[in-house]
């Protein structure tokens, strides 16, 4: 079923504050707040003076740290819209950090890459749900927050097996029809990504 260890599957190595960066932009979703608090615990709070936070979800515990700037977006697309504008005017010495669910990390990274930032330079930490963003390889529609495999494509209705194969460009895992050989024989969805 799910073949593990596929090389395209992203690895999130942690936020790791860059001491040489002149400006830090943090994009934080939900439980991603914890990743920042852990950094403060281990590295101290000096970096906060040059840090700007773009958050989705409750960020009161970050506000309490009084960073240089903090803004809360009501939804992910609104965060991405502001981030794009910020990165288009960005200068050398900027470091981007992302923490939250995989779907969130992928979408932020997509914007950063489009703005010319090398994906290897972006610091990422996965926090929160393991739910996935999945592209249907057949109709190309993307379904967010997929917790089971198989799942029903919200666009074309096929029952899709979620693979570990991942595209940074699309910011999604690949979903492939599970009962194509014998339509109607799809197994029951199994909770795979809680």
Partner 1 sequence: MNIKFRQETFRHDFTARNSPENIKRFPFPFHEDKYMYSVNMEPHVPAGPKGYAFENMIDVDEHYVAEMQDRALVLKEDPLRCQALPHMMQAQWDTLELLMEHQAANYPDHFSLTKNGDQWHWINRPMNIDQKFTFGDASTLPYEPMEYITRQSQGDFCIVDQRDGQLWMDAGMVTTQADWSLDFDIGMNFMEWHGPVPLAHQLGVFDRALKFLLNLQQGKPVRRLNWTMTINPRLDTSPENYPKWAQDRLTVTPENVGNKVHLRCELQSLWRLPRSNAILFVIRCYLIKMEELVTVPKWARRFHRVLRDLPPELVDYKGLTRFRPMTVEWLSKFDDGAPTSSGIFPD
Distance, in Å, from the CA atom of 143 to the CA atom of 173, rounded to the nearest integer, reads 10
Alpha carbons 115 and 142: distance in angstroms, whole number: 22
Q: Nearest distance from residue 59's CB to partner 1, in Å?
A: 32
Q: Residue 78 corresponds to which tokens in the numbers above?
A: 């609104």
Structure tokens at 155: 């666009």
CA 153 from chain centre, in angstroms, equals 20
Contact status: 174 vs partner 1 (CB under 8 A): yes
Of 137, 141, 144, 189, which lies in the binding site for partner 1, with binding defined by CB under 8 A?
Answer: 137
Binds partner 1 (CB under 8 A): choice among 86, 122, 170, 192:
170
Binding residues for partner 1, total number by CB under 8 A = 26
**Interaction between residue 13 and partner 1 (CB under 8 A):** no
For position 6 contacting partner 1 by CB under 8 A, the verdict is yes
**Residue of 140, 157, 187, 190 that binds partner 1 (CB under 8 A):** 140
Cross-strand partners of 23: 94
Nearer to partner 1, 35 or 136 (CB): 136
Segment contacting partner 1 by CB under 8 A, of 25-33, 68-76, 79-87, 179-187: 179-187
Residues in a beta bridge with 176: 161
Q: Which residues are bridge partners to 149 per DSSP?
A: 190
Residue 74 contacts partner 1 per CB under 8 A: no
Options 93, 157, 183, 187; binder of partner 1; rule CB under 8 A: 183
Residue 81: in which H helix or E strand, if any? Answer: helix 76-88
21 and 131 Cβ atoms separated by less than 8 Å: no
Q: Are 35 and 125 in contact (CB under 8 A)?
A: yes
* Residues in touch with partner 1 (CB under 8 A): 3, 5-9, 135, 137-138, 140, 158, 163-170, 174, 176-177, 180-183
């Amino acid at each position: 079923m799910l073949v593990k260890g596929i090389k395209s599957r992203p690895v999130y190595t942690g936020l790791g504050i860059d001491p040489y960066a002149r400006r830090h932009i943090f994009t934080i979703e939900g439980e991603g707040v914890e990743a920042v608090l852990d950094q403060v615990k281990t590295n101290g709070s000096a970096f906060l003076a040059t840090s700007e936070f773009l958050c989705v979800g409750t960020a009161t515990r970050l506000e309490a740290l009084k960073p240089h700037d903090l803004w809360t977006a009501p939804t992910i697309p609104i965060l991405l819209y502001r981030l794009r504008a910020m990165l288009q005017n960005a200068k050398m010495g900027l470091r981007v950090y992302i923490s939250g669910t995989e779907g969130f990390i992928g979408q932020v990274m997509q914007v950063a890459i489009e703005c010319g930032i090398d994906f290897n330079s972006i610091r990422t930490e996965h926090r929160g749900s393991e739910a996935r963003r999945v592209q249907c390889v057949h109709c190309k529609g993307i379904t967010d927050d997929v917790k089971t495999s198989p799942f029903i494509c919200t666009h074309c209705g096929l029952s899709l097996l979620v693979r570990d194969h991942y595209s940074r460009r699309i910011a999604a895992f690949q979903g492939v029809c599970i009962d194509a050989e014998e339509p109607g024989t799809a197994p029951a969805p199994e909770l795979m990504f809680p």
